[in-house]
Protein backbone atom coordinates (compact mmCIF):
# COMPACT_ATOMS: atom_id res chain seq x y z
CA UNK A 1 0.00 0.00 0.00
CA UNK A 2 1.31 3.40 -0.94
CA UNK A 3 -0.14 6.29 1.01
CA UNK A 4 -0.58 9.57 -0.82
CA UNK A 5 -2.04 13.02 -0.27
CA UNK A 6 -2.58 12.89 3.47
CA UNK A 7 -4.19 16.30 3.22
CA UNK A 8 -7.61 14.64 3.00
CA UNK A 9 -9.81 12.45 5.18
CA UNK A 10 -8.77 8.88 5.92
CA UNK A 11 -12.34 7.70 6.34
CA UNK A 12 -11.67 5.01 3.74
CA UNK A 13 -9.06 3.46 6.01
CA UNK A 14 -11.51 3.53 8.88
CA UNK A 15 -13.75 1.06 7.07
CA UNK A 16 -12.02 -1.70 9.00
CA UNK A 17 -13.48 -0.24 12.19
CA UNK A 18 -17.09 0.24 11.14
CA UNK A 19 -19.29 1.35 14.01
CA UNK A 20 -21.85 -1.00 15.41
CA UNK A 21 -24.93 -0.08 17.36
CA UNK A 22 -23.66 0.60 20.85
CA UNK A 23 -25.72 0.99 23.98
CA UNK A 24 -25.86 3.17 27.05
CA UNK A 25 -24.30 1.87 30.28
CA UNK A 26 -25.23 -1.79 30.71
CA UNK A 27 -25.22 -3.54 34.06
CA UNK A 28 -24.64 -7.25 34.16
CA UNK A 29 -23.08 -10.14 35.99
CA UNK A 30 -23.81 -11.77 39.30
CA UNK A 31 -25.09 -9.14 41.74
CA UNK A 32 -23.62 -11.15 44.62
CA UNK A 33 -20.18 -10.56 43.12
CA UNK A 34 -20.69 -6.82 42.78
CA UNK A 35 -17.97 -4.75 44.48
CA UNK A 36 -20.36 -2.52 46.41
CA UNK A 37 -19.71 -4.21 49.76
CA UNK A 38 -15.93 -4.57 49.47
CA UNK A 39 -14.57 -1.83 47.24
CA UNK A 40 -11.66 -0.05 48.93
CA UNK A 41 -11.62 3.66 47.98
CA UNK A 42 -8.40 4.82 46.32
CA UNK A 43 -6.70 7.62 48.25
CA UNK A 44 -3.78 9.93 47.49
CA UNK A 45 -1.67 7.92 49.93
CA UNK A 46 -2.50 4.63 48.22
CA UNK A 47 -1.49 6.10 44.88
CA UNK A 48 1.78 7.38 46.33
CA UNK A 49 2.56 4.09 48.06
CA UNK A 50 0.51 1.29 46.48
CA UNK A 51 0.30 -2.10 48.14
CA UNK A 52 2.51 -4.64 46.40
CA UNK A 53 -0.48 -6.63 45.17
CA UNK A 54 -2.45 -3.73 43.69
CA UNK A 55 -2.10 -2.13 40.26
CA UNK A 56 -3.93 1.17 40.78
CA UNK A 57 -2.80 3.15 37.73
CA UNK A 58 -1.58 2.66 34.17
CA UNK A 59 2.04 1.83 35.09
CA UNK A 60 1.32 0.91 38.76
CA UNK A 61 3.38 3.78 40.23
CA UNK A 62 3.71 7.48 39.50
CA UNK A 63 7.26 7.04 38.22
CA UNK A 64 5.98 5.03 35.25
CA UNK A 65 8.46 2.19 35.76
CA UNK A 66 6.01 -0.64 35.13
CA UNK A 67 7.78 -2.67 37.83
CA UNK A 68 6.18 -4.92 40.44
CA UNK A 69 7.76 -5.96 43.77
CA UNK A 70 5.90 -9.29 43.59
CA UNK A 71 8.13 -12.37 43.38
CA UNK A 72 5.83 -15.34 43.97
CA UNK A 73 6.20 -15.99 40.24
CA UNK A 74 9.94 -16.10 39.53
CA UNK A 75 12.66 -17.59 37.39
CA UNK A 76 12.55 -20.89 39.27
CA UNK A 77 8.83 -21.62 38.89
CA UNK A 78 7.81 -19.64 35.78
CA UNK A 79 7.51 -22.94 33.90
CA UNK A 80 4.43 -23.67 36.04
CA UNK A 81 2.55 -20.53 34.95
CA UNK A 82 -0.78 -21.48 33.36
CA UNK A 83 -3.94 -19.63 32.26
CA UNK A 84 -6.58 -19.62 35.00
CA UNK A 85 -9.28 -17.53 33.31
CA UNK A 86 -9.97 -15.53 30.17
CA UNK A 87 -12.44 -12.85 29.21
CA UNK A 88 -13.51 -11.96 25.67
CA UNK A 89 -14.37 -8.33 24.98
CA UNK A 90 -16.55 -9.27 22.01
CA UNK A 91 -14.88 -6.84 19.61
CA UNK A 92 -11.99 -6.76 17.18
CA UNK A 93 -9.69 -3.78 16.51
CA UNK A 94 -6.71 -2.95 18.71
CA UNK A 95 -6.62 -3.89 22.42
CA UNK A 96 -3.84 -1.76 23.90
CA UNK A 97 -5.02 -1.35 27.49
CA UNK A 98 -3.34 -2.15 30.77
CA UNK A 99 -5.75 -3.71 33.28
CA UNK A 100 -6.04 -1.78 36.55
CA UNK A 101 -6.65 -3.72 39.77
CA UNK A 102 -7.92 -2.55 43.15
CA UNK A 103 -8.16 -5.40 45.63
CA UNK A 104 -10.30 -8.04 44.00
CA UNK A 105 -11.70 -5.82 41.23
CA UNK A 106 -10.09 -5.57 37.80
CA UNK A 107 -10.99 -2.82 35.32
CA UNK A 108 -10.07 -3.18 31.66
CA UNK A 109 -11.02 -1.23 28.55
CA UNK A 110 -11.42 -2.37 24.97
CA UNK A 111 -11.84 -0.82 21.54
CA UNK A 112 -14.91 1.35 20.83
CA UNK A 113 -15.13 2.97 24.30
CA UNK A 114 -15.85 -0.24 26.23
CA UNK A 115 -15.06 -0.71 29.91
CA UNK A 116 -15.46 -3.89 31.95
CA UNK A 117 -15.32 -4.43 35.71
CA UNK A 118 -14.37 -8.03 36.50
CA UNK A 119 -13.73 -10.20 39.52
CA UNK A 120 -9.91 -10.27 39.48
CA UNK A 121 -9.82 -13.83 40.85
CA UNK A 122 -12.45 -15.54 38.69
CA UNK A 123 -13.07 -13.30 35.68
CA UNK A 124 -16.79 -12.95 36.39
CA UNK A 125 -18.17 -9.72 34.95
CA UNK A 126 -19.51 -7.33 37.58
CA UNK A 127 -20.63 -4.57 35.21
CA UNK A 128 -19.83 -3.07 31.82
CA UNK A 129 -20.00 0.38 30.26
CA UNK A 130 -20.47 0.95 26.52
CA UNK A 131 -20.33 4.42 25.03
CA UNK A 132 -21.56 5.05 21.52
CA UNK A 133 -18.90 6.36 19.14
CA UNK A 134 -20.21 9.04 16.75
CA UNK A 135 -19.95 7.95 13.13
CA UNK A 136 -17.93 11.03 12.20
CA UNK A 137 -15.43 10.29 14.96
CA UNK A 138 -15.01 6.75 13.64
CA UNK A 139 -14.34 8.09 10.18
CA UNK A 140 -11.65 10.52 11.26
CA UNK A 141 -9.71 8.73 14.04
CA UNK A 142 -6.04 8.49 13.11
CA UNK A 143 -4.82 5.21 14.54
CA UNK A 144 -7.60 2.76 15.37
CA UNK A 145 -10.40 2.92 17.94
CA UNK A 146 -8.19 1.96 20.89
CA UNK A 147 -8.40 2.79 24.57
CA UNK A 148 -5.40 2.18 26.84
CA UNK A 149 -7.04 2.11 30.26
CA UNK A 150 -8.55 3.92 33.20
CA UNK A 151 -7.62 5.76 36.38
CA UNK A 152 -9.01 5.17 39.89
CA UNK A 153 -9.67 7.65 42.70
CA UNK A 154 -12.03 7.52 45.66
CA UNK A 155 -14.96 5.36 44.65
CA UNK A 156 -14.77 6.32 40.96
CA UNK A 157 -13.17 5.05 37.78
CA UNK A 158 -12.19 7.56 35.07
CA UNK A 159 -12.03 6.97 31.33
CA UNK A 160 -11.24 9.10 28.28
CA UNK A 161 -13.32 8.50 25.16
CA UNK A 162 -12.98 8.56 21.39
CA UNK A 163 -15.32 11.55 21.18
CA UNK A 164 -12.92 13.50 23.47
CA UNK A 165 -14.92 13.32 26.69
CA UNK A 166 -13.75 12.42 30.19
CA UNK A 167 -16.19 10.21 32.09
CA UNK A 168 -16.34 9.41 35.80
CA UNK A 169 -18.18 6.21 36.75
CA UNK A 170 -19.14 4.75 40.10
CA UNK A 171 -16.57 1.98 40.58
CA UNK A 172 -19.12 -0.21 42.37
CA UNK A 173 -21.91 -0.02 39.80
CA UNK A 174 -20.64 1.53 36.55
CA UNK A 175 -23.21 4.32 36.67
CA UNK A 176 -22.03 7.64 35.19
CA UNK A 177 -21.30 10.25 37.88
CA UNK A 178 -20.20 13.01 35.53
CA UNK A 179 -19.37 13.43 31.85
CA UNK A 180 -17.19 16.35 30.72
CA UNK A 181 -16.45 17.40 27.15
CA UNK A 182 -12.68 17.94 26.86
CA UNK A 183 -12.51 18.94 23.17
CA UNK A 184 -14.48 18.78 19.92
CA UNK A 185 -13.98 15.47 18.13
CA UNK A 186 -15.25 17.09 14.92
CA UNK A 187 -11.97 19.04 14.81
CA UNK A 188 -9.89 15.86 15.11
CA UNK A 189 -9.52 15.59 18.89
CA UNK A 190 -9.84 12.18 20.57
CA UNK A 191 -8.69 10.64 23.86
CA UNK A 192 -7.17 7.17 23.76
CA UNK A 193 -5.02 6.87 26.88
CA UNK A 194 -5.59 6.48 30.59
CA UNK A 195 -5.90 9.66 32.68
CA UNK A 196 -3.48 10.39 35.53
CA UNK A 197 -4.76 11.20 39.04
CA UNK A 198 -2.72 13.79 40.96
CA UNK A 199 -3.87 15.35 44.24
CA UNK A 200 -7.58 15.13 43.53
CA UNK A 201 -7.27 16.11 39.87
CA UNK A 202 -7.85 13.99 36.79
CA UNK A 203 -5.21 14.92 34.21
CA UNK A 204 -5.56 14.01 30.55
CA UNK A 205 -4.06 14.79 27.18
CA UNK A 206 -5.53 14.56 23.69
CA UNK A 207 -4.73 12.81 20.43
CA UNK A 208 -5.22 14.26 16.95
CA UNK A 209 -1.79 15.56 15.97
CA UNK A 210 -2.37 14.66 12.31
CA UNK A 211 -5.48 16.86 12.16
CA UNK A 212 -4.06 20.31 12.73
CA UNK A 213 -5.15 20.47 16.36
CA UNK A 214 -3.48 22.59 19.03
CA UNK A 215 -2.55 20.12 21.74
CA UNK A 216 -3.01 20.61 25.46
CA UNK A 217 -2.93 18.95 28.87
CA UNK A 218 -5.89 19.61 31.14
CA UNK A 219 -6.67 18.85 34.78
CA UNK A 220 -10.22 18.36 36.10
CA UNK A 221 -11.67 18.22 39.60
CA UNK A 222 -12.09 14.51 40.36
CA UNK A 223 -15.39 15.06 42.18
CA UNK A 224 -17.13 17.49 39.84
CA UNK A 225 -15.45 17.17 36.43
CA UNK A 226 -14.86 20.92 36.25
CA UNK A 227 -11.62 22.17 34.68
CA UNK A 228 -8.91 23.27 37.13
CA UNK A 229 -6.17 24.23 34.68
CA UNK A 230 -5.29 23.83 31.01
CA UNK A 231 -1.85 24.14 29.42
CA UNK A 232 -1.40 24.26 25.67
CA UNK A 233 1.56 22.42 24.18
CA UNK A 234 1.78 25.01 21.37
CA UNK A 235 2.47 28.40 22.97
CA UNK A 236 0.37 31.30 21.75
CA UNK A 237 1.40 34.94 21.35
CA UNK A 238 3.03 36.39 24.45
CA UNK A 239 3.97 32.97 25.86
CA UNK A 240 7.53 31.62 26.08
CA UNK A 241 8.33 29.53 23.04
CA UNK A 242 5.93 31.27 20.67
CA UNK A 243 8.90 32.85 18.91
CA UNK A 244 9.90 29.36 17.71
CA UNK A 245 6.94 29.40 15.30
CA UNK A 246 6.75 31.28 12.04
CA UNK A 247 4.90 34.56 11.90
CA UNK A 248 1.25 33.98 11.13
CA UNK A 249 -1.20 31.34 12.30
CA UNK A 250 0.83 28.12 12.00
CA UNK A 251 0.78 27.72 15.78
CA UNK A 252 -3.02 27.46 15.75
CA UNK A 253 -2.83 24.19 13.79
CA UNK A 254 0.60 23.13 15.03
CA UNK A 255 -0.24 19.66 16.34
CA UNK A 256 1.61 18.83 19.55
CA UNK A 257 -0.82 16.12 20.65
CA UNK A 258 -0.44 14.87 24.22
CA UNK A 259 -1.87 11.41 23.73
CA UNK A 260 0.04 9.26 26.24
CA UNK A 261 -0.29 9.12 30.01
CA UNK A 262 2.25 11.17 31.97
CA UNK A 263 4.24 10.51 35.14
CA UNK A 264 4.48 12.40 38.43
CA UNK A 265 7.33 13.38 40.74
CA UNK A 266 5.67 14.05 44.10
CA UNK A 267 8.86 15.44 45.64
CA UNK A 268 9.03 18.21 43.03
CA UNK A 269 5.25 18.31 42.51
CA UNK A 270 5.90 18.05 38.76
CA UNK A 271 3.90 16.17 36.15
CA UNK A 272 6.04 14.95 33.25
CA UNK A 273 4.04 14.72 30.02
CA UNK A 274 5.07 14.03 26.44
CA UNK A 275 4.16 16.22 23.46
CA UNK A 276 3.85 14.84 19.94
CA UNK A 277 4.86 15.93 16.47
CA UNK A 278 4.15 19.28 14.81
CA UNK A 279 1.58 19.58 12.08
CA UNK A 280 1.71 19.26 9.22
CA UNK A 281 4.68 16.94 8.73
CA UNK A 282 5.76 19.19 5.88
CA UNK A 283 7.68 21.98 7.57
CA UNK A 284 7.43 24.85 5.10
CA UNK A 285 4.65 26.63 7.03
CA UNK A 286 6.45 26.39 10.38
CA UNK A 287 10.18 27.23 10.11
CA UNK A 288 11.81 27.25 13.52
CA UNK A 289 12.05 24.75 16.38
CA UNK A 290 8.25 24.56 16.84
CA UNK A 291 8.11 24.38 20.64
CA UNK A 292 6.89 22.39 22.49
CA UNK A 293 6.42 19.65 19.92
CA UNK A 294 8.49 16.46 20.24
CA UNK A 295 9.18 17.38 23.86
CA UNK A 296 8.70 16.34 27.46
CA UNK A 297 7.10 19.04 29.62
CA UNK A 298 7.38 19.24 33.41
CA UNK A 299 4.24 20.96 34.72
CA UNK A 300 3.45 22.29 38.17
CA UNK A 301 0.76 19.90 39.37
CA UNK A 302 -1.21 22.66 41.10
CA UNK A 303 -1.22 25.29 38.35
CA UNK A 304 -0.23 23.54 35.13
CA UNK A 305 2.58 26.04 34.60
CA UNK A 306 5.51 24.73 32.54
CA UNK A 307 8.56 24.53 34.83
CA UNK A 308 10.93 22.53 32.63
CA UNK A 309 11.02 21.17 29.12
CA UNK A 310 13.26 19.21 26.81
CA UNK A 311 12.83 19.00 23.04
CA UNK A 312 14.15 15.83 21.38
CA UNK A 313 13.60 16.70 17.70
CA UNK A 314 13.35 20.42 16.90
CA UNK A 315 11.54 21.26 13.65
CA UNK A 316 10.48 17.66 13.15
CA UNK A 317 9.96 16.73 9.46
CA UNK A 318 9.61 12.94 9.93
CA UNK A 319 6.79 12.51 12.50
CA UNK A 320 9.23 11.62 15.28
CA UNK A 321 6.40 12.14 17.74
CA UNK A 322 8.09 12.89 21.08
CA UNK A 323 5.09 11.90 23.18
CA UNK A 324 6.83 8.78 24.53
CA UNK A 325 6.68 8.41 28.29
CA UNK A 326 9.19 9.96 30.69
CA UNK A 327 10.07 7.19 33.15
CA UNK A 328 11.48 8.56 36.41
CA UNK A 329 14.59 6.82 37.75
CA UNK A 330 17.20 7.31 40.47
CA UNK A 331 20.47 5.70 39.42
CA UNK A 332 24.20 5.78 40.12
CA UNK A 333 26.21 7.01 37.16
CA UNK A 334 29.95 7.63 37.15
CA UNK A 335 30.02 7.90 40.92
CA UNK A 336 27.07 10.25 41.23
CA UNK A 337 23.41 9.72 42.11
CA UNK A 338 21.23 10.94 39.27
CA UNK A 339 17.58 11.88 39.68
CA UNK A 340 16.64 11.44 36.08
CA UNK A 341 14.08 10.54 33.50
CA UNK A 342 14.55 8.13 30.62
CA UNK A 343 12.87 8.21 27.23
CA UNK A 344 13.10 5.67 24.41
CA UNK A 345 12.28 8.11 21.67
CA UNK A 346 10.59 7.65 18.35
CA UNK A 347 13.65 9.21 16.67
CA UNK A 348 15.68 6.11 17.54
CA UNK A 349 17.68 7.44 20.51
CA UNK A 350 17.46 6.43 24.16
CA UNK A 351 17.79 9.44 26.48
CA UNK A 352 18.72 10.07 30.10
CA UNK A 353 18.00 13.57 31.43
CA UNK A 354 18.16 15.23 34.84
CA UNK A 355 14.57 15.65 36.01
CA UNK A 356 15.45 18.52 38.34
CA UNK A 357 16.85 20.67 35.52
CA UNK A 358 16.01 18.96 32.19
CA UNK A 359 19.74 18.83 31.52
CA UNK A 360 20.80 16.37 28.83
CA UNK A 361 23.02 13.57 30.14
CA UNK A 362 23.22 11.20 27.19
CA UNK A 363 21.41 9.94 24.11
CA UNK A 364 22.34 6.55 22.64
CA UNK A 365 21.00 5.05 19.40
CA UNK A 366 18.87 1.94 19.89
CA UNK A 367 16.89 1.57 16.65
CA UNK A 368 19.22 2.02 13.65
CA UNK A 369 18.73 5.80 13.18
CA UNK A 370 20.12 7.45 10.05
CA UNK A 371 18.21 10.76 9.96
CA UNK A 372 20.72 12.30 12.36
CA UNK A 373 24.50 11.99 12.21
CA UNK A 374 24.50 12.12 16.00
CA UNK A 375 23.54 14.29 18.97
CA UNK A 376 25.36 17.29 20.35
CA UNK A 377 27.27 15.91 23.35
CA UNK A 378 26.36 18.87 25.56
CA UNK A 379 22.76 19.63 24.63
CA UNK A 380 21.56 16.49 22.87
CA UNK A 381 20.29 18.54 19.94
CA UNK A 382 20.28 16.28 16.87
CA UNK A 383 22.61 16.94 13.97
CA UNK A 384 20.38 16.45 10.93
CA UNK A 385 21.89 14.84 7.86
CA UNK A 386 20.89 17.30 5.07
CA UNK A 387 20.39 14.41 2.68
CA UNK A 388 17.59 13.12 4.94
CA UNK A 389 15.46 16.27 4.83
CA UNK A 390 12.26 15.73 2.79
CA UNK A 391 11.47 19.42 2.38
CA UNK A 392 12.56 19.56 -1.26
CA UNK A 393 13.07 15.92 -2.28
CA UNK A 394 12.17 12.31 -1.65
CA UNK A 395 14.48 10.72 0.91
CA UNK A 396 15.01 7.32 2.47
CA UNK A 397 15.68 7.44 6.19
CA UNK A 398 15.44 5.53 9.47
CA UNK A 399 13.59 5.06 11.70
CA UNK A 400 10.22 5.29 9.98
CA UNK A 401 7.55 7.59 11.35
CA UNK A 402 6.13 4.81 13.56
CA UNK A 403 9.34 5.09 15.47
CA UNK A 404 12.21 3.32 17.06
CA UNK A 405 9.62 2.94 19.80
CA UNK A 406 6.00 3.95 19.50
CA UNK A 407 3.39 4.22 22.30
CA UNK A 408 4.12 0.84 23.98
CA UNK A 409 5.56 1.58 27.43
CA UNK A 410 9.01 0.47 28.49
CA UNK A 411 9.66 -1.01 31.92
CA UNK A 412 12.52 -0.19 34.29
CA UNK A 413 13.72 -2.64 36.93
CA UNK A 414 15.55 -1.08 39.91
CA UNK A 415 16.88 -4.58 40.64
CA UNK A 416 18.85 -4.79 37.37
CA UNK A 417 19.11 -1.12 36.46
CA UNK A 418 17.87 -2.04 32.98
CA UNK A 419 15.13 -0.55 30.85
CA UNK A 420 13.20 -3.06 28.73
CA UNK A 421 12.16 -1.71 25.35
CA UNK A 422 9.93 -3.03 22.56
CA UNK A 423 11.76 -1.42 19.64
CA UNK A 424 11.46 -1.56 15.85
CA UNK A 425 14.01 -1.23 13.07
CA UNK A 426 12.24 0.09 10.01
CA UNK A 427 12.79 2.88 7.51
CA UNK A 428 10.74 4.96 5.12
CA UNK A 429 10.82 6.90 1.92
CA UNK A 430 9.20 10.27 2.52
CA UNK A 431 8.60 13.50 0.62
CA UNK A 432 6.47 16.58 1.16
CA UNK A 433 3.17 17.25 -0.58
CA UNK A 434 1.28 20.51 -1.10
CA UNK A 435 -1.98 21.14 0.73
CA UNK A 436 -3.83 23.30 3.19
CA UNK A 437 -5.53 22.95 6.55
CA UNK A 438 -9.21 21.96 6.66
CA UNK A 439 -10.86 21.51 10.06
CA UNK A 440 -11.45 17.88 11.00
CA UNK A 441 -9.43 16.51 8.07
CA UNK A 442 -5.99 14.92 7.91
CA UNK A 443 -3.28 17.58 7.77
CA UNK A 444 -0.09 15.64 7.08
CA UNK A 445 1.02 16.71 3.60
CA UNK A 446 3.44 13.83 3.09
CA UNK A 447 3.95 10.86 0.81
CA UNK A 448 5.62 7.90 2.52
CA UNK A 449 6.18 4.16 2.45
CA UNK A 450 7.81 1.90 5.03
CA UNK A 451 10.32 -0.93 4.64
CA UNK A 452 12.49 -2.98 7.01
CA UNK A 453 15.88 -1.64 8.06
CA UNK A 454 17.35 -5.15 8.10
CA UNK A 455 16.60 -8.18 5.89
CA UNK A 456 15.83 -10.63 8.70
CA UNK A 457 14.16 -8.65 11.51
CA UNK A 458 12.19 -5.54 12.45
CA UNK A 459 11.24 -6.04 16.10
CA UNK A 460 13.84 -6.15 18.85
CA UNK A 461 13.07 -6.55 22.54
CA UNK A 462 16.11 -5.18 24.30
CA UNK A 463 17.49 -4.47 27.74
CA UNK A 464 19.38 -1.19 28.10
CA UNK A 465 21.63 -0.35 31.06
CA UNK A 466 20.22 3.00 32.14
CA UNK A 467 23.49 4.10 33.76
CA UNK A 468 25.32 3.92 30.44
CA UNK A 469 22.72 3.64 27.67
CA UNK A 470 24.34 0.44 26.43
CA UNK A 471 22.42 -2.60 25.20
CA UNK A 472 22.86 -5.58 27.52
CA UNK A 473 20.80 -8.23 25.71
CA UNK A 474 18.13 -8.48 23.05
CA UNK A 475 15.79 -10.82 21.21
CA UNK A 476 15.03 -10.14 17.53
CA UNK A 477 11.75 -10.81 15.68
CA UNK A 478 10.88 -10.74 11.99
CA UNK A 479 7.67 -8.78 12.64
CA UNK A 480 7.31 -5.50 14.54
CA UNK A 481 6.75 -5.39 18.30
CA UNK A 482 3.80 -3.40 19.66
CA UNK A 483 3.27 -4.55 23.27
CA UNK A 484 4.29 -2.96 26.55
CA UNK A 485 6.75 -4.46 29.05
CA UNK A 486 6.42 -5.58 32.69
CA UNK A 487 9.35 -6.31 35.01
CA UNK A 488 9.09 -7.92 38.46
CA UNK A 489 11.07 -8.68 41.59
CA UNK A 490 10.91 -12.31 40.49
CA UNK A 491 13.71 -11.42 38.02
CA UNK A 492 11.26 -11.67 35.14
CA UNK A 493 10.30 -9.45 32.20
CA UNK A 494 7.09 -10.02 30.25
CA UNK A 495 6.00 -8.79 26.83
CA UNK A 496 4.01 -10.00 23.83
CA UNK A 497 4.60 -10.57 20.13
CA UNK A 498 2.50 -10.25 16.99
CA UNK A 499 2.80 -13.00 14.38
CA UNK A 500 3.50 -15.87 16.78
CA UNK A 501 0.95 -14.40 19.26
CA UNK A 502 3.14 -15.35 22.23
CA UNK A 503 3.08 -13.93 25.74
CA UNK A 504 6.73 -14.34 26.76
CA UNK A 505 8.73 -14.22 30.00
CA UNK A 506 12.47 -13.49 29.93
CA UNK A 507 15.14 -13.68 32.59
CA UNK A 508 15.51 -9.99 33.42
CA UNK A 509 19.28 -10.18 33.78
CA UNK A 510 20.29 -12.51 30.96
CA UNK A 511 17.47 -12.28 28.42
CA UNK A 512 16.94 -16.03 28.33
CA UNK A 513 13.40 -16.99 27.26
CA UNK A 514 12.02 -18.92 30.24
CA UNK A 515 8.36 -19.33 29.28
CA UNK A 516 5.88 -18.44 26.57
CA UNK A 517 2.22 -19.04 25.88
CA UNK A 518 0.43 -18.70 22.54
CA UNK A 519 -2.66 -16.49 22.76
CA UNK A 520 -5.59 -15.92 20.41
CA UNK A 521 -4.17 -12.89 18.59
CA UNK A 522 -1.19 -10.61 18.28
CA UNK A 523 -0.44 -8.90 21.59
CA UNK A 524 -0.51 -5.10 21.62
CA UNK A 525 -1.59 -4.73 25.26
CA UNK A 526 0.32 -3.90 28.44
CA UNK A 527 0.93 -6.73 30.95
CA UNK A 528 0.36 -6.25 34.68
CA UNK A 529 0.60 -8.40 37.79
CA UNK A 530 -1.39 -8.38 41.04
CA UNK A 531 -2.45 -10.56 43.97
CA UNK A 532 -5.80 -11.72 45.31
CA UNK A 533 -5.98 -13.87 48.48
CA UNK A 534 -2.23 -14.38 48.43
CA UNK A 535 -2.05 -15.61 44.83
CA UNK A 536 -0.04 -13.71 42.23
CA UNK A 537 -1.69 -13.28 38.83
CA UNK A 538 -0.22 -12.00 35.56
CA UNK A 539 -2.63 -10.47 33.04
CA UNK A 540 -2.39 -9.25 29.45
CA UNK A 541 -4.81 -8.29 26.67
CA UNK A 542 -4.38 -10.02 23.33
CA UNK A 543 -6.06 -8.41 20.31
CA UNK A 544 -4.13 -7.17 17.28
CA UNK A 545 -4.88 -3.74 15.83
CA UNK A 546 -3.63 -0.22 16.37
CA UNK A 547 -1.51 1.78 13.96
CA UNK A 548 0.25 -1.02 12.08
CA UNK A 549 -2.72 -2.20 9.93
CA UNK A 550 -3.52 1.42 9.05
CA UNK A 551 -0.06 2.87 8.45
CA UNK A 552 2.60 0.18 7.89
CA UNK A 553 1.66 -0.51 4.25
CA UNK A 554 3.82 -3.25 2.69
CA UNK A 555 5.12 -4.39 6.08
CA UNK A 556 1.58 -5.06 7.25
CA UNK A 557 0.65 -6.78 4.00
CA UNK A 558 3.64 -9.11 4.24
CA UNK A 559 3.97 -9.81 7.97
CA UNK A 560 0.89 -8.98 10.00
CA UNK A 561 -2.18 -9.02 7.75
CA UNK A 562 -2.98 -12.68 8.56
CA UNK A 563 -2.89 -12.26 12.35
CA UNK A 564 -6.26 -13.34 13.86
CA UNK A 565 -8.19 -10.55 15.53
CA UNK A 566 -10.43 -10.42 18.57
CA UNK A 567 -9.86 -9.14 22.10
CA UNK A 568 -9.25 -11.56 24.98
CA UNK A 569 -7.91 -10.82 28.45
CA UNK A 570 -5.63 -13.68 29.55
CA UNK A 571 -4.93 -14.16 33.27
CA UNK A 572 -2.25 -16.57 34.51
CA UNK A 573 -1.15 -18.02 37.85
CA UNK A 574 1.06 -20.85 39.04
CA UNK A 575 -0.65 -24.22 38.71
CA UNK A 576 -1.63 -25.77 42.00
Residues with catalytic function: 319
Which residue, among 456, 395, 399, 387, has the nearest Cα to 424 in the 3D structure? 399
Q: Are strands 486-488 and 67-68 parallel, antiparallel or unpaired?
A: parallel
Distance CA 149, CA 147 (A): 6
Q: Are 336 and 311 in contact (CB under 8 A)?
A: no
State whether residue 560 is helix, strand or coil: helix
Cis amide bond preceding 248, omega within 30:
no
Q: Output 117-122 pairs: Cβ under 8 A, ≥24 positions apart.
A: 117/35, 117/157, 117/171, 117/174, 118/87, 118/569, 119/33, 120/530, 120/532, 120/537, 121/532, 121/533, 121/535, 121/537, 122/33, 122/85
Would you call 200 exposed, middle or buried from its count of C-beta atoms within 10 A (0-12, 13-18, 19+)? middle
Report the C-alpha gap between 308 and 174 in whole angstroms. Answer: 38
Cis peptide before 280 (omega within 30 of 0): yes
**CA–CA dist 284, 345 (Å, integer):** 24
CA distance linking residue 94 with residue 424, whole number of Å: 18
Q: In angstroms, rounded to a whole number, what is the distance separating the alpha carbons of residues 272 and 203?
A: 11
Write the CA distances from 442 to 191, 228, 324, 503, integer angstroms: 17, 31, 22, 35
Residue 219 to residue 190: CA distance in whole angstroms:
16
Amino acid sequence: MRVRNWNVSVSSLALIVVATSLVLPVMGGDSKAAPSASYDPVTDQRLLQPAAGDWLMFRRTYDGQGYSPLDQVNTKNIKDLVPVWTFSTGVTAGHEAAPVVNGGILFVTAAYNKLFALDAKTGSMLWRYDRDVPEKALGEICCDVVNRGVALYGDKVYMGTLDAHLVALDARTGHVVWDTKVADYQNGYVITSAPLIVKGKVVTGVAGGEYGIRGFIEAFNAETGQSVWKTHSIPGPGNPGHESWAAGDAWKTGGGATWLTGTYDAQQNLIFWGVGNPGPWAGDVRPGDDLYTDSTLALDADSGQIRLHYQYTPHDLWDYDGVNEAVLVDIDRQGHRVKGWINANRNGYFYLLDRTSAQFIYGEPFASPTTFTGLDPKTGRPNVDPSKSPEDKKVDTCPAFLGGKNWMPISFSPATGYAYVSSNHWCMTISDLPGKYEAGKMYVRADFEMHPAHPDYIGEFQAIDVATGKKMWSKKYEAPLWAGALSTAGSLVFTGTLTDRDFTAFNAKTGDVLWKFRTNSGIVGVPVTYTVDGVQYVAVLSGFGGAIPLWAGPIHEKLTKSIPQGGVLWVFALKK
